């Protein structure tokens, strides 16, 4: 005789002793994802949102239900035992309901130490306003600084997942990092303070650069030396309108008559790498964005990776076209390609770090769509075996460019003797 503790999924014997757990019914989303993977070889990343934090015993179930999978071009994911040492799943907690659950910081660093500096990591993250389970792509720069980009999450969820992960990975004492952050809004404020504020050059004999931090109402100024070169940096607690008038003109006069002797001074410095200003507090004051930037541009690495993928599947294949350019959000760039009937062609596209969504479409001369990959991701690809020889149009669209001036992209075309995505 036994009974079942429904709340905890526990089976107990007649004496009330633990006798195992009852497995839950197959999750519909797992069944659907398995069918999609079987049919296409690709499953897009997704996320699970909750009002409360997920439990540690659901961590790997959540990871399986949300993981991005591409059997055509497998993306690196954290290994079960990076560096030969099995990692632990750690829970980092702080004020305001801040909870981050992920493989331990030590395990993530060991994975990067193996030479794979960018890889996917499962997480459960959130605060009092909600929680999300999913995956993030973490990248360690050549300077040892971490950045994170969420997969398959809406912007609000992605925001706190990315911020919490980078905060904990960058902490001197990860176990206490969330406690040091306070609430999530305080974490955001502290991260922005450490980033500093970007300078604005001004035309003035006395002032070289200005910046303003609206969160702390702090005016920063770099004075100009007698020889015209930038000199010392100073800061004052100042209303925003003073800064605006200095930008409009007469920066030196406004500084001399309204700021220097009438406003409270603040200790400040300027980063020699990124040029940003920050107020000195005596603790960890500046996280330089320049150090966190990925080592080198992404496109050359992506292009080389695509070549390797094609060569592994079809050694006889060769690249016929490489298109490169820049496009703004929603803009489409068209490229002409000559295809031969009966040959196998493989198409890839990629975009730089400031872009998270790029689409690729192939059309015939009459405008008919031959193939496309318009999924919400930054790695579209497909194979085609054209029935007719002729000129075709390859269209690249960037729905997810984060830079107003546009994002760089590239598209590659390979010809070979087989469909490299065939299973």
The CATH number given to 299-416 is: 2.60.120.380
> In angstroms, rounded to a whole number, what is the distance separating the alpha carbons of residues 124 and 55?
9
Residue 26 reports pLDDT greater than 50 = no
* pLDDT in the model for residue 175: 87
* pLDDT in the model for residue 17: 60
> In angstroms, rounded to a whole number, what is the distance separating the alpha carbons of residues 325 and 351?
10
Whether 347 and 413 have beta carbons less than 8 Å apart is answered as yes
Longest CA–CA separation in the chain, Å: 92
* pLDDT in the model for residue 274: 86
The first and second tokens of residue 183, run together, are: 């609430």
> In angstroms, rounded to a whole number, what is the distance separating the alpha carbons of residues 344 and 36?
24
Exposed e or buried b for every residue in 390-419, given b needs 16+ CB within 10 A? eebebbbbbebbeeeebbbbbbbbbbbeeb
**Residue 12 — pLDDT band, cuts 50, 70, 90?**
low
From residue 195, alpha-carbon distances to 137, 237, 279, 284, 382 in Å are: 21, 19, 11, 11, 40
Domain ranges of the chain: 1-40, 44-194, 196-292, 299-416
Residue % of the chain over a pLDDT of 90: 39
Tens-place pLDDT, residues 58-67? 888 889 889 8
Tens-place pLDDT, residues 312-334? 889 999 999 999 999 999 999 99
3-state secondary structure the chain: CEEEECCCCEEEECCCCEEEECCCCCCHHHHHHHHHHHHHCEECCCCEEECCCCCHHHHHHHHHHHCCEECCCCCCECCCCHHHCCCCEEEEECHHHCEEEEECHHHHHHHHHCCCCEEEEEEEEEECCEEEEEEEEEEECCCCCEEEEEECCCHHHHHHHHHHHHHHHCCCCHHHHHHHHCCHHHHHHHHHHHHCECCEECCCCCEEEEEEECCCCEEEEEEECCCCCEEEEEEEECCHHHHHHHHHCCHHHHHHHHHCCCCCEECEEECCCCCCEEECCCCCCCCCHHHHCCCCCCHHHHHHHHHHHHHHHCCCCEEEEEEEEEECCCCEEEEEEEECCCCEEEEEEEECCCECCCEEEEECCCCCEEEEECCCCCCCEEEECCCCCEEEEEEEECCCECCCCCEEEEEEEEEECCCCCCC
**Residue 364 — pLDDT band, cuts 50, 70, 90?**
very high
The first and second tokens of residue 194, run together, are: 């450490």
Q: Look at the alpha carbons of 402, 152, 103, 78 in this order and tell me if their dihedral is positive or negative.
A: negative
> In angstroms, rounded to a whole number, what is the distance separating the alpha carbons of residues 126 and 181?
13
> In angstroms, rounded to a whole number, what is the distance separating the alpha carbons of residues 393 and 366?
10
Higher pLDDT, 40 or 45: 45
Residue 73 reports pLDDT greater than 80 = no
The half-sphere exposure of 361 on its side-chain side, counting CA atoms within 13 A, is: 15
Our measurement of the distance from residue 344's CA atom to the centroid of its chain's CA atoms, rounded to an integer in Å, reads 34
Closest by CA to 179, choosing from 109, 58, 80, 93, is 93
Higher pLDDT, 42 or 315: 315
* pLDDT in the model for residue 61: 86
* pLDDT in the model for residue 316: 93
Residue % of the chain over a pLDDT of 70: 91
> In angstroms, rounded to a whole number, what is the distance separating the alpha carbons of residues 47 and 100?
15
The first and second tokens of residue 272, run together, are: 């020699």
């Amino acid at each position: 005789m036994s009974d079942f503790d429904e709340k905890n999924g526990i089976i107990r014997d007649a004496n009330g002793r633990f006798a195992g757990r009852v497995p839950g019914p197959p999750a519909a989303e797992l069944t659907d994802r398995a069918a999609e993977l079987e049919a296409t070889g690709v499953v897009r990343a997704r996320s699970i949102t909750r009002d409360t934090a997920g439990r540690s015993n659901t961590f790997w179930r959540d990871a399986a239900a949300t993981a991005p999978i591409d059997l055509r071009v497998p993306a690196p994911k954290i290994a079960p035992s990076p560096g030969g040492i099995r990692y632990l799943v750690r829970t980092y907690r702080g004020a305001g309901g801040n909870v981050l659950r992920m493989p331990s910081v030590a395990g993530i660093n060991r994975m990067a130490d193996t030479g794979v500096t960018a890889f996917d990591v499962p997480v459960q993250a959130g605060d009092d306003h909600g929680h999300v389970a999913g995956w993030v792509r973490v990248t360690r720069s050549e300077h040892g600084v971490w950045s994170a980009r969420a997969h398959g999450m809406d912007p609000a969820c992605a925001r706190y997942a990315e911020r919490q992960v980078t905060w904990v990975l960058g902490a001197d004492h990860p176990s206490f990092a969330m406690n040091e952050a306070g609430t999530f809004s305080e974490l955001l404020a502290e991260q922005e303070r450490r980033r500093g504020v970007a300078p604005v050059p001004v035309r003035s004999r006395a002032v070289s650069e200005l910046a303003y931090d609206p969160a702390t109402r702090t005016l920063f100024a770099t004075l100009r030396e007698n020889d015209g070169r930038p000199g010392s940096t100073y800061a004052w607690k100042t209303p925003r309108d003073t800064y605006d008038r200095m930008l409009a003109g007469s920066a030196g006069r406004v500084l001399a008559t309204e700021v220097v002797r009438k406003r409270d001074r603040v200790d400040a410095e300027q980063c020699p790498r990124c040029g940003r200003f920050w107020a000195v507090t005596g603790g960890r004051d500046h996280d330089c964005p320049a150090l966190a930037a990925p080592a080198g541009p992404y496109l050359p690495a992506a292009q080389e990776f695509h070549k390797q993928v094609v060569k592994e599947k079809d050694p006889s294949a060769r690249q016929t076209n490489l298109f490169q350019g820049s496009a703004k959000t929603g803009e489409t760039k068209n490229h002409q390609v000559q295809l031969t009937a009966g040959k196998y062609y493989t198409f890839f596209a990629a975009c730089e770090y400031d872009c998270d969504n790029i689409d690729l479409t192939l059309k015939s001369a009459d405008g008919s769509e031959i193939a496309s990959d318009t999924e919400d991701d930054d790695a579209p690809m497909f194979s085609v075996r054209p029935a007719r020889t002729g000129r075709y149009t390859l269209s690249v669209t960037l729905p997810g460019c984060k830079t107003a001036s546009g994002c760089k992209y590239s598209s590659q075309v390979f010809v070979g003797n087989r469909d490299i995505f065939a299973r």
